[in-house]
Structure 1
């Protein structure tokens, strides 16, 4: 797999943080766990159920030593989201992410979850427009 990175960009590989000082192309020759900086979510951005699941899975990728504690949290959050959300696209995506986690395909799970952000926002939008009782 080839990855092209810009100057100053960071990426995470097998738990290590690597910063590139100039534009570079890197070829990964074996199976590694990696995450590009552009896909890293900050804790304060994990404001919805799917984003919280994403954050837990992200922790599993960035810090393999934390995977044992983050995995049960991700599974629990997926169960909560499956109860909370009814949209078929959301539930199918959540089930796909859960299946990826079971197979140890954490990066695949992140991709599935990232694709659900807009759907979740759409699902939650009517709730945001509901007038609050005074």
Structure 2
């Protein structure tokens, strides 16, 4: 049996569970008794904040969790974006984690994939800063393609 997951939410906070948006009107604790896909409001990335390659990838994966009806399209975008990201980074930790993210997404562990991508943000910042200094780092548009 899976472990029970207990979450505490503040008044007016939202949680996204299996594509449903739930807002609580008062401080509340909830227990998730089975395996569900969820995302806390504080981890939701707004489109305008998807300004780096990894944040763009995060946004794509986030759509899989928040919008099950659009998950297939988001998976297609993920499949297109991941090889470009792997080709644009040299940092071994970033590359290894992106390969783990790929496995997690394939296995349906979307929340874990999001968590892994978030953990790479500091390394991405270093890589982007170094690339900008050299003029050859990853471009912010790499994950979403040329738009």
- Whether these two folds match at TM > 0.5 is yes
- Secondary structure, counterpart of 1:18 in structure 2: strand
Equivalent-residue separation in structure 2 for 1:84 and 1:129 (angstroms): 16
Q: Is the 8 A contact 1:2 1:25 kept in 2?
A: yes
Structure 1 or 2: more helix by fraction? 1
Equivalent-residue separation in structure 1 for 2:76 and 2:117 (angstroms): 17
Matched, 1:89 2:93: yes
Equivalent-residue separation in structure 2 for 1:116 and 1:70 (angstroms): 20
C-alpha distance after superposition, 1:2-48 (max 9, x if no partner): 11001111111111111111110001112211100010000011111
What RMSD over aligned residues (CA atoms) do the two structures have, in Å?
1.2
Structure 2 residue aligned with 1:42, among 43, 46, 61?
46
TM-score of the two chains, using structure 2 as the length reference: 0.85
Structure 2 residue aligned with 1:77, among 81, 97, 101?
81
Higher relative contact order (CA 8 A, sep 6+): 2
Q: Is the 8 A contact 1:2 1:26 kept in 2?
A: yes
Paired residues, number = 131
> Which consecutive unaligned segments of at least 5 residues does structure 1 have?
none
- Secondary structure, counterpart of 2:120 in structure 1: helix
Equivalent-residue separation in structure 2 for 1:53 and 1:75 (angstroms): 10
TM-score of the two chains, using structure 1 as the length reference: 0.93
